[in-house]
A and B are shown apart, each in its own frame.
Chain A
Amino acid sequence: NAGVMQNPRHLVRRRGQEARLRCSPMKGHSHVYWYRQLPEEGLKFMVYLQKENIIDESGMPKERFSAEFPKEGPSILRIQQVVRGDSAAYFCASSPRSLVLGTEAFFGQGTRLTVV
């Protein structure tokens, strides 16, 4: 059973370009979470999705950022018109059911985004 797969592992974008980060959850997992980690800082919650639904996007910046988790395929975190401050590690996690039911969240290896 493969773990949470994120790609690409490293992504370099010029200012103003778009960045697309992909996350394939573990098999059988329908809950996906995205986190951002700035250099030397902690993990900040961005968004929680279930298949085709955004459950909690309280940590998402109001502009330029969007996320989806379609019925088929990976979850996508999309950043439009990237700026230098978007440079960070973006981690995805998945779980088989809601975390309030006492399950672990499994993390991917992350995508390191560098904006030049």
Chain B
Amino acid sequence: QQPVQSPQAVILREGEDAVINCSSSKALYSVHWYRQKHGEAPVFLMILLKGGEQKGHEKISASFNEKKQQSSLYLTASQLSYSGTYFCGTVGNEKLTFGTGTRLTIIP
């Protein structure tokens, strides 16, 4: 079953922060986060393997609550280059199932 992301879309001014949430109805081995720009392939951001694990990537970080089967992606001090659609991907069996996506628009 497809994980659910929220919000569906968000508009930020450059320098503002955002949180994107991903929720699954199934137990998970891991959560992957990707960003995709229009017309391009998804770009891997990070993978979270353990419950409660938090990882960082420049000003983008994420957490994974294994018990709640939820993950959140945190973007701080957003830059114009952060614009795109963010997808979480969950691994509950041997395949990666992508979420519904969150479209992020950064305006100057």
Contact = CB atoms under 8 A, between A and B. Distances in A.
Interface stretch (B12-20, B55-63, B65-73, B87-95): B87-95
Interface stretch (A11-19, A42-50, A67-75, A77-85): A42-50
B42 A104 contact: no
A75 to B, nearest CB: 15
Contacts of B101: 42
A43 B36 CA distance: 10
A54 to B, nearest CB: 12
B76 interface: no
A93 interface: yes
Given A42-B87, A104-B47, A99 B95 contact: yes
Interface string A32-65: 0101000000111100100000011000000000
Interface of A: 33, 35, 42-45, 48, 55-56, 91, 93, 98-100, 102, 104-110
Contact of A109 (B41, B93, B98): B41
A104 B47 CA distance: 7
B41 A108 contact: yes
A107 B29 CA distance: 20
A55 B95 CA distance: 10
A106 B49 CA distance: 17
Interface string B15-36: 0000000000000011010100
A-B pairs, top 6 by smallest CB distance, nearest first, are A43-B98, A99-B91, A102-B49, A100-B29, A42-B101, A48-B95
Contacts of A104: 32, 44, 47
Contacts of B54: none
19 contacts: A33-B95, A33-B96, A43-B42, A43-B87, A48-B94, A56-B94, A91-B42, A99-B29, A99-B94, A99-B96, A100-B91, A100-B93, A102-B29, A102-B47, A105-B44, A105-B96, A107-B34, A107-B44, A109-B41
